[in-house]
Amino acid sequence: MNTSHPSRDSDKSVAADETPSVMRHARVHEGSSFPLGATWDGLGVNFALFSANATRVELCLFDETGEQEVARVELPEYTDEVWHGYLPDARPGQLYGYRVHGPYAPEEGHRFNPNKLLLDPYAKQIVGDLQWDEALFGYTIGHPDGDLSFDERDSAPFMPRCRVIDPAFTWGRSRGVQLPWDHTIVYETHVRGYTMRHPSVPEALRGTFAGLMVNDVVDYIRSLGVSSVELLPIHAFVDDQRLLEQGLRNYWGYNTLGFFAPHSRYISGDSINEFKELVARYHAADLEVILDVVYNHTAEGNELGPTLSLKGIDNASYYRLMPDELRYYIDDTGTGNTLNLSHQRVLQMVADSLRYWATEMRVDGFRFDLATILGREPHGFDEGGGFLDSCRQDPVLSQVKLIAEPWDCGPGGYQVGGFPPGWAEWNDRYRDTVRAFWRGDEGQLPELATRLMASADFFKRRGRRPFASVNFVTAHDGYTLFDLVAYNDKHNEANGEDNKDGHGHNLSWNHGVEGPTDDEDIQALRLRQIRNFIATTLFSQGTPMLLAGDELLRTQQGNNNAYCQDNEISWVDWNLDGDAHAMIEYLRRVIALRLRYPILRRGRFLSGEYNEEMGLKEVTWLAPDGAEMDIERWEDTEARTLGLLLDGRAQPSGIRRAGADVTLLLIFNAHHEAVAFQLPAAPSGSGWLCRLDTSQTIEEAPFQRAFGEEHRMEGRSLALLELVQHGEGVVT
């Protein structure tokens, strides 16, 4: 079958070009091929669009309502595969889109269709909502030839518009926080969900950047002691047609439409400067802003998906296609398509986007969704791949925080520990181990010990530091902390997929009753387990990450895949009871302890080996009788109690000299029964001061115990004790 349609590159065959009200000409100059996108220079606007395989590019200009196309301008120049032109009469606020001509030959990888209005990949603002209609598709839905057919309907009535912006913004004295990794505590949240039910946020501002700037919101986050607010995707994204038909939405935002534009739903007014104001406000509060970004795929799906932007601009360049069947897409994301970062211009687009957000928007870092894809070359994952190399050598990107979700759906996709120096990574092995340990699973002590020490088995290589391990127990994807201790099974019925979606291996435990209960003993145990999870995360070496709302005991009613729940299932409930208030205070206390003791956040990996030169072990693992763990004890699958002695004299840096930190003893007891733990002796000390015990429901005054004395560890509890130096009394 001949699927190429070269004649459809002519004006006569394109229905959209026959609109009589469209002006065919406007004052246009040659312009420049750099920078890409629409750039206002104070006198006019330069338009530049990359397409290696197009034959002609038309710029469509719209009136201020976006409804009427007022001019169509053919970009006059083509330089280094970039189409460009300069409009001296254009101004900020101008709405526009593109129509790109070229062969419609899906079996050759080309899907040009100038009947489809396309979004500029470099658009700094996208206005209006996508209205799902069959005209959005480059082929005719229902046609016997499927995606090999050619659809001549105009998609413009159903498409959003790009808007030219004026980038000017007065930052004043605002500066980036530039927080070192050892002081970093990540707080993952959602722009919309965090404020939709907040009583201090005016209704008109709820769910927006402006809502996140309300003083009570900022003051609360700062009061917790966290350092870095990580926002789920804020890049412009699309609500899937299937979800809208079910009354749902793409709440999380992992369906990107534009890599430079903030999502319009998160802007309370009409200016993207609202996001800049948010960053400036958080920086003034000494809070970093980190963005969760999605550069692995777009909202255009596979060969049966819509033509919204890249697919119609240059499908063969922007996407990874099956080498022997260019009609089809390589799907390492599970979403239908995969961006082709092996292409120079696609790599440039992603790097330009990151630099834009880091410089123009001044964000402090990025968390990369399915980041393995960004390091994937045609031969597989390569830590020396183009994208990872570009980040490492870039003078801007190498100085911001880079956090990888180190897995994808492709072959060899699991790459925890496989990223190059300079990167941190989500550590799911930490998550699963800590969950299994506190659930009481057998044989967890060796694995737990490794995870508590920043997973050196994964990350101690090439000069990487402990911060590379981002330690978390919960995140947006999965249970909340309350649901982790309240449900054995996922309850995703509200998602409309018969509870078949979401992960079934959650390592959760309901403690005897599925969901809410009036049983006070179960309630108390659940709260203790939540305290255990929080303390474990914050007392581990590495970078801790917390899920916003966990400290408020937020529940999603057992839904562990609330990606489509833009409602009270996902929104943070600020109507707090006494238990929630107590948990907030507990979190503040634990964070303060982490920051108080540098030994909990060392910049180098701590070793359990004896250092003859310094005469000490940085780390000593202890059994309940106070003796050092031996092979037999490590191999005891029934053992569920472990002590961790962190010697404050341990060498803090590469210089061989003793440290002056406080020595700490951590005790973990996952037994359901109490265990008597004999407190060890430690050099230069006279006893132990208990700073935290998760079996306590309220904060109690520190109490001191002598060496050799037994400390009663209640069932499923954690304790932190500080060494009392000779000559010291009880330290407050």
CB 539 within 8 A of CB 600: yes
3-state class (DSSP) for residue 290: strand
CB 60 within 8 A of CB 69: yes
Rounded distance between C-alpha atoms, residue 446 and residue 450, angstroms: 7
In one letter, which amino acid is 273? N
Give the residue carrying structure tokens 């404050």.
648
CB 263 within 8 A of CB 323: no
Q: Which of 274, 292, 303, 405 is catalytic?
A: 405
E strand segments, 417-567? 423-427, 469-471, 543-547
Q: Which residues pair with 46 in a beta bridge?
A: 39, 86
DSSP structure string for 647-672: -TTS--SSS-----PPPEEEEEE-SS
Q: Residue 311: phi, psi to the nearest 5?
A: -60, -35
Beta pairing, strands 710-713 & 110-111: unpaired
Taking CA atoms, 550 is separated from 93, 474, 479, 487, in Å, by: 41, 9, 10, 15
Q: 223: exposed, middle or buried (C-beta count within 10 Å: 0-12, 13-18, 19+)?
A: exposed
Rounded distance between C-alpha atoms, residue 120 and residue 412, angstroms: 33
Of residues 419, 433, 354, the one with CA closest to residue 388? 419
Give the residue carrying structure tokens 């978390």.
472
Taking CA atoms, 702 is separated from 15, 26, 532, 596, in Å, by: 79, 77, 19, 15
CB 537 within 8 A of CB 530: no
Taking CA atoms, 491 is separated from 240, 482, 483, 503, 730, in Å, by: 22, 14, 10, 11, 49
Q: Residue 106: phi, psi to the nearest 5?
A: -55, -35
Q: Which residues pair with 674 in a beta bridge?
A: none
Does the annotation mark 405 as catalytic? yes
DSSP state of 551: G
Could you tell me the maximum CA-CA distance found in the chain, to the nearest angstrom? 94
Two structure tokens written together for 611: 């250092």
Rounded distance between C-alpha atoms, residue 425 and residue 445, angstroms: 23
DSSP state of 420: P
In one letter, which amino acid is 109? G
CB 94 within 8 A of CB 163: yes
Rounded distance between C-alpha atoms, residue 622 and residue 628, angstroms: 4
Q: Which of 58, 369, 551, 722 is catalytic?
A: 369
CB 74 within 8 A of CB 84: no
Q: How many residues does the chain have?
A: 732
Rounded distance between C-alpha atoms, residue 202 and residue 197, angstroms: 10
Task: Provide the CB-side half-sphere exposure for 327 (13 A, CA).
Answer: 13
Taking the C-alpha atoms of 481, 487, 488 and 489 in order, what is their torsion angle to the nearest 10 degrees? -100
CB 244 within 8 A of CB 251: no
DSSP state of 129: -
Give the residue carrying structure tokens 């966290």.
226
CB 518 within 8 A of CB 589: no
CB 658 within 8 A of CB 651: yes
Which residues are identified as catalytic? Answer: 369, 405
